[in-house]
């Protein structure tokens, strides 16, 4: 405690009358004896309730909107997978881990909320964010390192900031993004490898004797 404060705590210090009057006027009004709350308190509680209701409503509306945007991003990948199946290179038995179940949705949406707080990715729209993270999910769970079954054009054709989305993808899969002292890139990689409780069955690749020749055939399918 400072000497200045101690000096004004001495018993012999008497406040002037005008200060006593100011203190008296500034006191909180005493509630009536009947237990009713004073009007000023009722008004304050009413305002708090209204603000709380508005915030809760806005929060619910935001969640509904996010889920709708997420569903759009999911559909893009589902359509891409259907297109790949039509090429005949993959079969529905081989592509079994199609995102997303409820647990995966919750995790991916949570990851997006964190990424929206990290510069420069905070400028990405939620649609671009969901597209990138779902793409990352497929890459970590289903693809070989070459990602040859799902190409980058999925992002370039379906996002408004494809270059930044690609940077985010690389930052998550090979970088070390930090948020509040935590390496979120590493955490996301670990979580995505086991979003279904570690029981995910990785997609099996077809094996052929002449791998190079078949890869050229595959590229022809992709260019159709």
Given this model, what pLDDT does residue 100 score?
Answer: 82
- Global pTM reads 0.61
State the sign of the Cα–Cα–Cα–Cα dihedral 10, 11, 13, 16. Answer: positive
Exposed / middle / buried, residue 5 (Cβ in 10 Å: 0-12, 13-18, 19+): exposed
Give the number of other CB atoms < 10 A from CB of residue 28.
8
Look over the chain and give the mean of its residue pLDDT values, rounded to a whole number.
71
CA distance 105 to 68: 12
Left if phi > 0, otherwise alpha if psi is -120 to 50, otherwise beta: which for 97? beta
Segment 162-211, tens digit of pLDDT:
999 999 999 998 889 999 899 999 999 888 776 444 334 443 333 333 33
Which structure tokens are listed for 76?
Answer: 């893009």
Segment 31-70, tens digit of pLDDT:
555 456 666 666 666 766 666 666 666 677 888 899 999 9
Which structure tokens are listed for 204?
Answer: 């099996």
Given this model, what pLDDT does residue 82 score?
Answer: 82
Which structure tokens are listed for 137?
Answer: 């999910």
Which structure tokens are listed for 205?
Answer: 């690749």
Which structure tokens are listed for 123?
Answer: 């400028």
Angle ∠(44,47,48) on CA atoms, nearest 5: 85
Given this model, what pLDDT does residue 77 score?
Answer: 87
Check: CB of residue 107 under 8 Å from CB of residue 188: no
CA distance 87 to 92: 12
Given this model, what pLDDT does residue 109 score?
Answer: 93
Given this model, what pLDDT does residue 86 score?
Answer: 80
Measured in degrees and rounded to the nearest 5, phi and psi for residue 28 equal -65, 130
């Amino acid at each position: 405690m400072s000497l200045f404060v101690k000096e004004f705590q001495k018993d012999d210090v008497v406040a002037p009358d005008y200060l006593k009057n100011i203190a008296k006027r500034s006191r909180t009004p005493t509630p009536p004896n009947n237990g009713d709350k004073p009007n000023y308190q009722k008004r304050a509680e009413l305002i708090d309730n209204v603000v709380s209701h508005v915030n809760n409503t806005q929060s619910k509306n935001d969640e509904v909107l996010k889920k709708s945007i997420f569903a759009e991003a999911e559909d893009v990948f589902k359509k891409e997978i259907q297109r790949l199946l039509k090429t005949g290179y993959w079969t529905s038995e081989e592509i079994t881990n199609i995102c997303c179940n409820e647990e995966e949705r919750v995790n991916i949406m949570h990851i997006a909320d964190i990424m929206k707080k990290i510069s420069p990715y905070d400028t990405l729209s939620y649609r671009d964010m969901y597209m990138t993270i779902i793409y990352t999910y497929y890459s970590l769970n289903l693809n070989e390192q070459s990602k040859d079954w799902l190409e980058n054009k999925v992002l370039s054709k379906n996002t408004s900031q494809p270059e930044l989305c690609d940077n985010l993808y690389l930052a998550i899969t090979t970088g070390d993004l930090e948020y509040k002292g935590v390496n979120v890139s590493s955490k996301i990689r670990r979580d995505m490898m086991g979003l279904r409780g570690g029981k995910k069955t990785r997609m099996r690749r077809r094996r052929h004797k002449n791998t190079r020749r078949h890869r050229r055939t595959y590229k022809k399918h992709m260019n159709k």
